Amino acid sequence: MARTAISPADVTIRPMLAQDAGAARAVASAALDELHPRDLSAQEAAIQAASATARVAHLQRTDPGGCWVAELDGEIIGTAIGLIRDGVWGFSLFGLLPDYQGRGIGTRLYAPALQYGAHARGGIILSSSHPAAMRRYARSPGYRLIPTVRLSGACDPRRAPTALRCRAGDLTADAHTIEAASRHVRGASHLRDLPTLLGRPDSCLLVVEGDGFACARDGNVMLLAARTTAVAADLLWGAITSGTRGATVCVDFISADNNWAIDIGLEAGLSIGSCGPIFVRGQLGTLAPFLPSGAYL
């Protein structure tokens, strides 16, 4: 049961420990599920929880200084998680149990997570549409806001080009292609995070040799980075047609510089919808052709 009469001094902000991963995942899911309620089967919910916990545990291992929790009466009530890759900081997860929101706790929790990335040469935050989140990010020193949209709907595979260049990828054999594409678009490799990202059932890696890659989960685009829009278009078609025929697919965080993705989404029969903004600062890559990962930026 949530306490209603709490003062900020009752809440402790401390680094996340390995054993906190499950609880931190649960509070972040509760926060985000309230914002975007989802109707998942028990099996889908279990898969989702397992992969989200694996993500938190992975980031606690790679970035123990970037992962924080808020604790009240010995229970975790919030979490803020950031990672640094090749000198670029990214903010991966931020959530507070709904009963405790709007009292300044999130601001206290965000401060050490942001500080972890203060000396990084660049930073990326993918925001939800929660007003407190957008306000906090927009007022973070040096960050600028990039509006984005999302595409969703059932993809019509008959609209896809007849011959695609992309093929199933391999994290070891295609490491050079993956790292080069990531560094081109965001100035930092994604390779270290891809085993965890692709660890969830139904995930796939698509590659165009030397030029780009995409990660998809049952037709939903999790991440795409390429050196040219022609390659990105090929990968996006490959990704959105890789899932169950007729199922709803989503592509999030599409900025104006990535209009090539809008063209393809509309051609495939998807609809444009609203999405939270991206906030960036410092030295990054071209940010296009790029569809960033909500979990790993």
Ligand X SMILES: CC(C)(COP(=O)(O)OP(=O)(O)OC[C@H]1O[C@@H](n2cnc3c(N)ncnc32)[C@H](O)[C@@H]1OP(=O)(O)O)[C@@H](O)C(=O)NCCC(=O)NCCS
Binding positions for ligand X, rule: CB under 6 A: 31-32, 35, 94-96, 101-107, 127-128, 130-133, 135-136
In the bound state with ligand X, the residue whose beta carbon lies nearer, of 100 and 260, is 100
Which residue's beta carbon is nearest to the bound ligand X? 106
Nearest-approach distance from CB 37 to ligand X, in angstroms: 12
Smaller CB separation from ligand X, 107 or 283: 107
For residue 21, the minimal CB distance to ligand X (Å) is 18
Cα(240)–Cα(219) distance, integer angstroms: 4
- The residue among 207 and 223 lying less far from ligand X, judged by its C-beta, is 223
Of 2 and 35, CB closest to ligand X: 35
Closest Cα to residue 171, out of 148, 151, 196?
A: 196
Q: Which two tokens stand for residue 63?
A: 């970035």
Q: Which amino acid is at 175?
A: A
Residue 235 backbone dihedrals phi, psi, to 5 degrees:
-65, -40
Closer residue to ligand X in complex, CB, 25/227: 25
Amino acid identity of residue 241, one-letter, is T
Min CB(166)–ligand X separation in Å? 30
Q: In angstroms, give the least distance from the CB of 233 to ligand X.
A: 28
Select 8 or 210, whichever has its Cβ closest to ligand X: 8
With b meaning 16 or more CB within 10 Å and e meaning fewer, what string describes 120-152? bebbbbbbbebebbbebbeebeebeebebbbbb
Q: How far apart are CA 231 and CA 180, in angstroms?
A: 14
Nearest distance in Å: CB 269, ligand X: 29
Q: Which is nearer to ligand X, 235 or 275 (CB)?
A: 275
Min separation Cβ 109 and ligand X, Å: 7
